[in-house]
């Protein structure tokens, strides 16, 4: 164990090493772009170069985790615990995979502006700060760094109207969400006089809850509900997801959502445990609405990207269950589910991106018909992703579902798991048709299928993700151990539910 005094500059630098390294690398890359920003090969060069930042951030996180770095005294500004390291690892991983997926895709779409990769790195830094914040200021800083980068990325395909529309919508709604969040922070500060999570938590636990604090919490929750696209704060998501460049959609559906959920876990566990009776019904209502509406509306979609957008909304609903559980295994379940969900989403969008053609309309379900005959590996990969999203045994999605439902059941709650299962039952109505039209329907557009070219880096990344889905689904024990051990470090004192 290595104790780090976070009140000193050295300590803070050490604690923030992953974020700082990634930021520094982003700036270096930005300088390099000054020379190399004209051709497709420049684009690729910058993309590959930016991977170094993720490697550095990953190594720094691994070092902190290996050293078992813990705050010496209060965790000021940034948390130092297993949960943050696990979050960092997940977010850095997502950032790196999205970079790989974008490598040839951008050139093919005619987007030649290598700042894309810098923005992606900065967004990842924001996500890491958001998920690792131990202070309202860090939280807000992380949120904004992440959001502003993603606003730009969503509109990166400037010449497409849908992309511009997505950016504007996302920006307007995001600004509102930030406003709610900031107002919530202000009210909490007004009620407690503190910014630090631990101190606010102690204050709220020891004093009679004031209306101001309750309102503050409510506004914070609304802000996060916007970010994770929980019903009824989801209306922006489908348009933004459909309009944004596909790798960025994938980034939003996996990384941004994961970061917001990880931050919410920490917020609810450290700041608002005293208000558990208050926020549980809110989360339950959000979860039920999100699961049912997300799944039902997804049924009606014909555009694959839009269908995945609604499916992402539904999965946000599932993820509210372990948050509701407010327990160690709930925290573990969030991590496990996020790992499985992120891998799957990234892979699914990766396949989707390869099917897209520049300037063409979005991929419809009918465009996939008979894909298996021409591109068997792409369709097997997408099928595995669909089954994993469905929570089919043998995939990591099932393990996630198992933990998620257990975490709510272990609190004696039956209704939420049943709603989640009903949602899962509805979702077979839109996941299976994807498999059906790829493998069972006859090919109508053979020539179109033959033009599908998987960029080699994306192919590799998708293959890795699909292998991970299956391997982790069959042998999940190491991941489960990791998650249940890291999760326990977030909240001490609670007893793990699984006998060990």
Binding site for other proteins (CB under 8 A): 387, 392-394, 398, 401-402, 405-406, 409-410, 414, 417-418, 421-422, 424-425, 428-429, 432-433, 436, 439-441, 476-477, 480-481, 484, 497-500
Q: Which is nearer to other proteins, 434 or 458 (CB)?
A: 434
The Cα angle at residue 31 between residues 25 and 34, in degrees rounded to 5: 145
Q: Give the whole-angstrom CA distance, residue 197 versus residue 491.
A: 13
| In the complex, minimum distance from the CB of residue 489 to other proteins, in angstroms, rounded to a whole number | 17
Structure tokens at 387: 């089954």
Six-digit token pair at 370?
A: 């008979």
Nearest distance, CB of residue 435 and other proteins, angstroms: 8
Q: CB within 8 A of 343, min separation 6: which ones?
A: 396, 465, 468, 469, 472
For other proteins, the closer of residues 61 and 439 by Cβ is 439
The nearest distance, CB 449 to other proteins, in angstroms, is 18
Instruction: Compute the distance between CA of residue 479 and CA of residue 343 in angstroms, rounded to an integer.
Output: 13
- Closest contact distance (angstroms) between CB of 339 and other proteins is 16
Three-class secondary structure of residue 70 per DSSP: strand
Can you tell me the distance from the alpha carbon of 235 to that of 155, in angstroms, rounded to the nearest whole number? 18
The nearer residue to other proteins, 67 or 481, going by C-beta atoms, is: 481
Least distance (Å) between residue 496 CB and other proteins: 9
Question: Within the chain, what is the greatest distance between any pair of CA atoms?
Answer: 69
**Closer CB to other proteins, 171 or 396, in the complex:** 396
Nearest to 257 by CA among 308, 303, 315: 315
CB of 469 to other proteins, least distance (A): 14
Which residue, 286 or 333, has its beta carbon nearer to other proteins? Answer: 333
Report in angstroms how near the CB of residue 385 gets to other proteins at its nearest.
14
Instruction: Compare residues 169 and 449 and give the one whose CB is closer to other proteins.
Output: 449
Nearest to 3 by CA among 411, 11, 426: 11
Nearer to other proteins, 477 or 492 (CB): 477
Q: Dihedral sign, CA of 268, 228, 64, 76? A: negative
What is the phi/psi pair of residue 229, to 5°? Answer: 60, 55
Q: Which is nearer to other proteins, 137 or 418 (CB)?
A: 418
Rounded to whole angstroms, the Cα distance separating 391 from 33 reads: 42
CB of 301 to other proteins, least distance (A): 17
Closest CB to other proteins among residues 140, 398: 398
CB of 172 to other proteins, least distance (A): 38
Is-contact 167 236, C-beta < 8 A?
no
Between CA 130 and CA 78 the distance in angstroms is 9
Name the nearest CA neighbour of 436 among 499, 387, 492, 483.
387
């Amino acid at each position: 164990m290595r104790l780090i005094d976070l009140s000193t500059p050295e300590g803070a630098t050490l604690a923030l090493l992953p974020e700082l390294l990634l930021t520094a690398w982003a700036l270096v890359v930005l300088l390099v772009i000054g020379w190399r920003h004209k051709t497709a090969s420049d684009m690729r060069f910058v993309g590959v170069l930016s991977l170094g930042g993720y490697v550095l951030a990953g190594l720094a996180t691994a070092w902190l985790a290996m050293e078992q770095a813990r705050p010496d005294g209060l965790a000021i500004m940034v948390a130092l615990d297993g949960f943050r390291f696990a979050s960092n690892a997940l977010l850095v991983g997502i950032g790196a995979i999205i970079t790989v997926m974008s490598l040839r895709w951008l050139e093919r779409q005619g987007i030649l502006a290598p700042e894309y990769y810098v923005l992606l790195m900065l967004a990842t830094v924001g996500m890491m700060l958001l998920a690792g914040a131990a202070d309202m200021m860090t939280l807000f800083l992380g949120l904004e760094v992440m959001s502003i980068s993603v606003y730009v990325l969503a509109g990166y395909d400037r010449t497409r109207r849908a992309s511009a529309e997505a950016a504007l919508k996302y920006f307007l709604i995001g600004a509102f969400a930030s406003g709610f969040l900031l107002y919530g922070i202000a009210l909490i500060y007004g009620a407690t006089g503190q910014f630090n999570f631990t101190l606010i938590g102690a204050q709220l636990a020891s004093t009679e809850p004031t209306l101001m604090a309750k309102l503050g919490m409510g506004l914070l929750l609304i802000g996060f509900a916007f970010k994770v696209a929980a019903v009824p704060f989801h209306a922006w998501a489908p348009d933004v997801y459909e309009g944004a460049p596909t790798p960025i959609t994938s980034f939003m559906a996996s990384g941004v959502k994961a970061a917001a959920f990880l931050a919410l876990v920490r917020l609810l566990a450290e700041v608002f445990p005293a208000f558990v009776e208050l926020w549980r019904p809110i989360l339950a209502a959000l979860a039920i609405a999100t699961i049912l509406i997300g799944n039902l509306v997804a049924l009606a979609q014909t555009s694959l990207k839009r269908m995945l957008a609604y499916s992402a909304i539904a999965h946000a609903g599932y993820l509210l269950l372990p948050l509701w559980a407010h327990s160690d295994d709930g925290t573990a379940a969030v991590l496990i589910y996020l790992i499985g969900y992120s891998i799957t989403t990234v892979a699914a969008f990766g396949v989707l991106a390869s099917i897209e053609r520049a300037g063409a309309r979005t991929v419809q379900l009918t465009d996939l018909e008979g894909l298996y005959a021409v591109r068997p590996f792409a369709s097997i990969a997408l099928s595995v992703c669909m089954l994993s999203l469905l929570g089919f045994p043998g995939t990591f999605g099932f393990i996630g579902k198992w933990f998620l439902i257990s975490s709510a059941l272990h609190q004696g709650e039956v209704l939420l798991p049943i709603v989640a299962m009903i949602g899962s039952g509805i979702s077979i109505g839109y996941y299976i048709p994807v498999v059906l039209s790829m493998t069972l329907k006859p090919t109508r557009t053979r020539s179109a299928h033959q033009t599908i070219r998987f960029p080699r880096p994306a192919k590799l990344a998708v293959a890795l993700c699909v292998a991970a889905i299956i391997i982790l689904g069959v042998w999940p024990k190491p991941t489960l151990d990791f998650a249940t051990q890291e999760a326990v470090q977030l909240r001490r004192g609670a007893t793990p539910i699984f006998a060990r």
